[in-house]
Copies of this chain bind each other. A is one copy, B any other.
Amino acid sequence: MVGCLNTQALSVTSAMSVPEKYVETIEALRAIFPAAEVNTDPDVLKKHSSTFGVSRARNPPGVGHTVVVYPRSTEDVVKIVKISREHLMPITAYGGATSLEGHATFVSSLTSESGGICLDVSKMDKILEIHVEDGDLICQPGVQWVTVNETLKQKGIPLFFPLDPGIGATIGGMISTGCSGTNAVKYGTARGEWFINATVVLPSGEIIKTRRRSRKCSAGFDTLSLFVGAEGTLGIVTEVTIRLTPLLPTRVAVAGFPDVAHASRASTEALNCGVNLQCIELLDKRSMAGLNAFNRNMRQWPEQDSIFFKIQGATQVFIDESARILREVVERNGGSGFEFAATEKEADDLWLARKSAVMAGFALAPGAQAMITDVCVPLSALPQLMTNIGKDLDEAGLLAGTLAHAGDGNMHAMILYRNENEEKIARGVADKLAQYALQLDGTCTGEHGVGVGKKKYLVDELGANTVELMKQIKKTIDPLNLFNPGKLYPD
C-alpha cells in the first residue's frame, strides 16, 4: 500500500504545509492507475525535480504532495488532466529533461510546499506507424529522436529525422522546447515543418489533432505551432506525425582560422556556395585547447578558432566536388590546415572531436562545473558577440570554451566555475551575454527555451505586447493555470 505509506510519511514531515487536497489527488490517481505508475518515492521525485543545466532545481520536492505519473496513452493523459482539474493540482510534462532552463522541473516553479503532478512520458515510447513512401512516421511523445533514427536504420529504411538536440531528448520535449541542434543549418528547427501533426490533450481535457497527414496544408493557422516552444504550458502532446528526410552519406572537413571574424565569413560563404552542408560547427580556440586537454594522448589540434563542416553527398562525385569548393571557400577566407576526411571512418573520427566538445570543455578546468549559455544572433553579428563575451570572461578571470552553430548564429559558451563566488560571477557574465544578444537583434535563447531561467529577458526581447499576447492565449487555453505554471511567461 504505497499510498498509505506516503500519507504517513507526509504527516511525519509537515502536516501544516501540505495541501490536503493534493493528498486526495494522489489517491485519486492511485485509484485509476497501476501502483507502479503513480510514484511518490522521494528519490524518484528528486530525479524529476532536476533537468540538465544551470537552472537545476535545488529545492527537494515536497514529499507527499508531489507525484510522478507514467501514462501510456492519450486516454491516460486525459484521465490525469481531469483529475488535475478536479483537484486544481498542476501538471508538468516531463520528457528527456535535456533542456537547460528548467522547464520540465516541476518543483522549480512550484515551491516544495505547493506540489504538483509530474507527467513523465517515458512509457509513451512507441513508434506506431512508419510510412516509408510518404516519408513520415507516427510516434508517441516519449520516443527519443535517437531511437527513431536507430529504428529506421535497423529496418533498412534510408530516411531519418534530422532535428538533433541533446542525446536523450524526446519527440514531445523537442516540440515543447522548440529545439534544434547541429543539423539546423540544413534542416531548420522545431519551428519548421518537421512536425506534421500532433494529438494534444488540452487543459480542458479535450483532445485535438492539429491536422492530417499531407505534407502541406493551408487550412487556417497551424494549431500545432502553438505547442512548439510552449514548454507544456498549453497542452500535452500525446502523439506526433514527424516528417522524415533522406539519409545521405556524409563526410567531414575541418579548418582553422585566424579569428572568429574570418571563420564567420567562411561559414556564411560556405552556406551560400551551393554545397550541401549538414553542419557548420565553430569551436573557438579555447574549445580546441579543451579538446587537446581532453584527449591528451590522441591528436593535438592547432589552438585556433576552427570550423567542422559536415558535407552531404549521395555519390563520390558530389562529395569530391563539394570538398573542392569548400576548400576554396576556406582558403579564400584565411583558413588553413583544411583537412577532408575522405572515408566514412575518417569522417566519423573527425566528427568525434566535434561531438566531444562539451566534455572537452570541462577539461579546461578539471573539477569545475559549467554554466552552458545559449544565445543566437544574426550571422554577421556572431564575431562581435564572441569578442564581447571573450573580453568579459577574461576580465572576470573565468574560462569558457565556446561552441557555435555558426551557420545559424547560435552560440554556446560553457562558462566554468569552481565555487559559489565564481558561479555568481559566471551568472553575471551569462546575463551580459544575453544582453549582448538582444543588443545585436538576437535572442537570449537559440534552442533551449525559456523555462524559468530566461523569463526575465522575455519582455526585453519580444516586447510587452507580444508577451501579453502569449499570456492572453495561455489564459484562454488554460484558465486555471494548471499546465506547467510558472514557466515561460514572465510575471
Residues on A facing B (Cβ under 8 Å): 131, 133-136, 158-159, 177-180, 184, 188-193, 202, 206-223, 225-231, 234, 246, 248, 268, 271-276, 312-315, 317-318, 321, 325, 376-381, 405, 408-410, 437-438, 441-450, 454, 457-458, 461-463, 465-466, 469-470, 472-473, 475-477, 488-489
Contacts and interface: CB of A to CB of B under 8 A. Distances in A.
A67 to B, nearest CB: 27
Contact of A220 (B276, B441, B458, B477): B458
Contact of A314 (B225, B275, B450): B275
A462 B213 CA distance: 11
Contact of A219 (B134, B135, B462): B462
Contact of A274 (B211, B312, B442, B445): B312
Contacts of A438: 212
Contact of A192 (B159, B192, B450): B192
Nearest to A176: B221
Given A208-B466, A272-B135, A376 B221 contact: no
Contact of A216 (B206, B226, B231, B443): B443
A131 B380 contact: yes
A209 B477 contact: no
A160 to B, nearest CB: 11
9 contacts: A134-B409, A135-B379, A178-B217, A192-B193, A214-B409, A218-B447, A218-B450, A219-B444, A220-B470
A211 B315 contact: no
B441 A214 contact: yes
A458 B218 contact: no
B441 A216 contact: no
Given A158-B272, A321-B318, A133 B470 contact: no
A248 B274 contact: yes
A238 to B, nearest CB: 13
Contacts of A159: 272
Contacts of A466: 208-211, 223
Contact of A227 (B193, B221, B465, B476): B221
Given A221-B227, A466-B223, A470-B223, A379 B215 contact: yes
B410 A216 contact: yes
A445 B234 contact: no
Contact of A461 (B212, B271, B379): B212
Contacts of A272: 135, 158-159, 246
Nearest to A226: B221
Given A188-B192, A193-B189, A216-B376, A463 B135 contact: no
Nearest to A159: B272
Contacts of A216: 180, 184, 189, 376, 405, 408-410, 443, 446-447
Contact of A215 (B210, B409, B450): B409
Contacts of A202: 465, 469
Contacts of A230: 220-221
A374 to B, nearest CB: 8
B221 A470 contact: yes
A211 B461 contact: yes
A380 to B, nearest CB: 4
A191 B376 contact: no
A178 B218 contact: yes
Complex A-B, nearest 10 residue pairs according to Cβ-Cβ distance, in ascending order: A274-B314, A225-B225, A133-B380, A178-B218, A214-B376, A214-B442, A134-B378, A246-B272, A217-B443, A213-B441
A225 B223 CA distance: 9
Contacts of A461: 211-212, 219
B134 A208 contact: no
A208 B465 contact: yes
